[in-house]
Amino acid sequence: MKRVFAFLPALLLLTSILHAQTTVSLGTGKIIGSVTGLSSASPNVSGLSAGISFDLTITATSVATPALTVTNHNDGIGVSGGSAVEIDNRNNLIADDDESLVFTLSNVTGLAVGQSLRISGIGTRSIGTTEKQYAIFDGTTSVSSGSFNTTPFAISVPNLASVKITAVGPTSGTALNSRFIINQLLLTVTGGGGVLPGGGNAAAKVTNAGIDSSGHPFFTFDSIAGESSEIQSSTDLLSWTPLATLSGTGGSITYTDEFTHAPSVPRKFYRAKTVLTPNGNLANTTLSITQTWAQQPGGYARTAVVQVPAGAGPHPVIILLHGNGGTGAGTIGALNPHVSTAIRVAPDGYLNSWNVDGEASQAPDVAFIRDLIALLKTYDNVDAGKISIFGNSNGSGMTNRLLIELDGAAFQNAGCQVSQMLAKMYHDSSFWFNATGSNAYDQTIAPAKRRRIISINGTFDPLIPYTGGASVIGTFISAQESIYRFAQAMGETGPQQADAAGIPGNGTNGYSAPFVKYTYRSGQLIHYKLIGGNHGLQVSGSFVYADEAKQIVAAFLLQ
């Protein structure tokens, strides 16, 4: 059993200047210190991953301009001299102004044997020189130096006791207009072992971090086989947004955010936390979560049937949501026999329905499924990085709602069968919901990115019209627009595919002739139109294509 103390180190990816304060994140702590002129700030940080702490001193100095001030500038850390308005760590034409921004770390404690504190970032210069632009000192001896230009830099100082990182200008030659900007400063603990309290796993090794060629932040860490990691981001180091959950492989994992770093947008910070699993292995059972709402003010036990495959795992998970009038027990085998390697979880909707628009149930179903997923993740044999939700009919309507409202770390894949989004969920170029869980749909929201989605709808569906419009359940957008709007939320920049652009099945391309396939983002989002299919995906009374749809969905969710 994995210990509850297991924790991946948090990672600073960007440093921001807000009202002359420098904020640096490392582990679970942060450093805040003002930097003005020749003064320095040495705040102590403690409570970090593996008990690491240190002092950070940031000093602005200049031979020629003795009063430098850190400016509130969108581009990152820097200093301006005199009346200059741009970030500049040199007094432009003064050759001997070779030290104007200094980071000194000292009193470092808590590093395990073999661990290092990694200092990295991105620096730029306005000239194409290859002369020395940084130097690192262990005490007074230079241990590393090199050239930044516009490329990322990264230096690890092993067995760190103290270090001084100095951005410097040319040491010889003609005076140069050598502006130097540090856009990001990264401080991460790398390497080494050490056991966390309670016998948990050693902190993972962060091996690389920075901004890729597309301007997207990324970091790479060594994962632990059988353990998953939740990736989180923050703009203020106080509140953290779950972005994704990645399965541990025992090898190196890189997470790249599609957020584009630019001076005009807020800085983002990132961290990875181990998904803790204190409850041992999940077995065949019925899980229960108690909720209270207007229809059940005294509390009501929400239940979910669980079937677990043989083997140690960790196993992928598929949560199956029944249609209106159905039950979890009656839906647990909805994708059998094609999902025998997955843990199947089939919850019961209140009054045999899911709370989507005008259904009889007014239960807080988004919160129920969120809490159910959180409970599942506490088990050793659950692969938290491979959780899928499959919904049929009313359950598909609920799946669409969960895609809109649950954060990106909750689940990775979704299958929507014979129900697309309601018009209340998407209109006026925005997705809509209500933070209280009601069906008011009066607040805009941006769905989580990085998810894979498959949808299947029949063109002869009498309950939910394929091309959209009013029904006895509500008003829907078209099935093809529904998948496209999710594709846009995931980053699709092209237009919606025309109906005629779909690729018909031919029996040799993976699906049969009545199916027509529409694909976005290299197969991340797929829609199948079943020509002649009704609400049960029967064609001319035959269940042949309904059975084929099971295979198509199962293969996608378990990919």
Q: Using pLDDT thresholds of 50, 70 and 90, give the confidence band for residue 92.
A: very low
Instruction: Render the burial of 29-42: b for 16+ CB within 10 Å, e for the rest.
Output: bbbebebebeebbe
Q: Using pLDDT thresholds of 50, 70 and 90, give the confidence band for residue 224.
A: confident
Task: Check pLDDT > 70 for residue 381.
Answer: yes
143 and 156 Cβ atoms separated by less than 8 Å: no
Alpha-carbon distance of 456 to 454, in angstroms, equals: 7
| The two structure tokens encoding residue 467 | 């091309």
Task: Check pLDDT > 60 for residue 43.
Answer: no
Strands (E), 294-427: 296-307, 315-321, 343-347, 382-392, 413-417, 426-427
Please name which of 408, 444, 439 lies closest in space to residue 428, comparing C-alpha atoms. 444
Alpha-carbon distance of 24 to 12, in angstroms, equals: 7
Of the candidate ranges 20-29, 47-56, 346-355, 517-526, the one whose mean pLDDT is the lowest: 20-29
* Average pLDDT of the segment spanning 369-377: 98
* 17 beta partners: 22
Amino acid of residue 509: N
CA 434-440-441 angle, 5° bins:
60
Alpha-carbon distance of 22 to 151, in angstroms, equals: 23
Q: Using pLDDT thresholds of 50, 70 and 90, give the confidence band for residue 115.
A: low
Average pLDDT in the chain: 73
Task: Check pLDDT > 60 for residue 225.
Answer: yes
Higher-confidence position of 270 and 188: 270
Higher-confidence position of 146 and 522: 522
- What's residue 212's pLDDT? 77
Secondary structure of 389-408 as H, E, C letters = EEEECHHHHHHHHHHHHCCC
16 and 266 Cβ atoms separated by less than 8 Å: yes
Task: Check pLDDT > 80 for residue 349.
Answer: yes
pLDDT digits (tens, 9 = 90+) for 290-339: 999 999 999 999 999 999 999 999 999 999 999 999 999 999 999 999 99
Torsions phi, psi for 14 (to 5 deg): -135, 150
CA 276-282-286 angle, 5° bins:
120
N- to C-terminal Cα separation, the chain? 27
Task: Check pLDDT > 80 for residue 345.
Answer: yes
Alpha-carbon distance of 476 to 522, in angstroms, equals: 26
Q: Using pLDDT thresholds of 50, 70 and 90, give the confidence band for residue 137.
A: low
505 and 515 Cβ atoms separated by less than 8 Å: yes
Task: Check pLDDT > 80 for residue 402.
Answer: yes
Spell out the alpha helix ranges (H) of 500-540. Answer: none
* 305 beta partners: 286, 346
Highest mean pLDDT among 5-9, 31-35, 109-113, 543-547 belongs to 543-547
Q: Residue 173: how many CB atoms within 10 A of its CB?
A: 9
DSSP state of 49: G
Which residue bears the tokens 């709808």? 457
Torsions phi, psi for 396 (to 5 deg): -70, -40
- Pairing label, strands 382-392, 413-417: parallel
Alpha-carbon distance of 451 to 399, in angstroms, equals: 13
Could you tell me where in the chain the CATH 3.40.50.1820 domains are found?
285-557
Task: Check pLDDT > 60 for residue 289.
Answer: yes
Alpha-carbon distance of 200 to 367, in angstroms, equals: 30
Task: Check pLDDT > 60 for residue 475.
Answer: yes
pLDDT digits (tens, 9 = 90+) for 178-223: 333 333 344 444 443 333 332 233 334 556 666 678 877 777 777 8
Task: Check pLDDT > 60 for residue 390.
Answer: yes
pTM of the model: 0.72
Amino acid of residue 283: A
The superfamily in CATH containing domain 285-557 is Alpha/Beta hydrolase fold, catalytic domain (3.40.50.1820)
Tell me the three state secondary structure of residue 15.
coil
Angstrom CA distances, 99 to 62, 87, 126, 162, stand at 6, 15, 17, 19
264 and 253 Cβ atoms separated by less than 8 Å: no
> For helices 394-405 and 365-376, what crossing angle results, to 10°?
70
Q: Using pLDDT thresholds of 50, 70 and 90, give the confidence band for residue 414.
A: very high
Alpha-carbon distance of 516 to 531, in angstroms, equals: 8
| The two structure tokens encoding residue 133 | 């632009």
409 and 242 Cβ atoms separated by less than 8 Å: yes
* Percent of the chain whose pLDDT exceeds 70: 59
Spell out the alpha helix ranges (H) of 422-508. Answer: 479-490
- What's residue 471's pLDDT? 92
| The two structure tokens encoding residue 558 | 């378990």
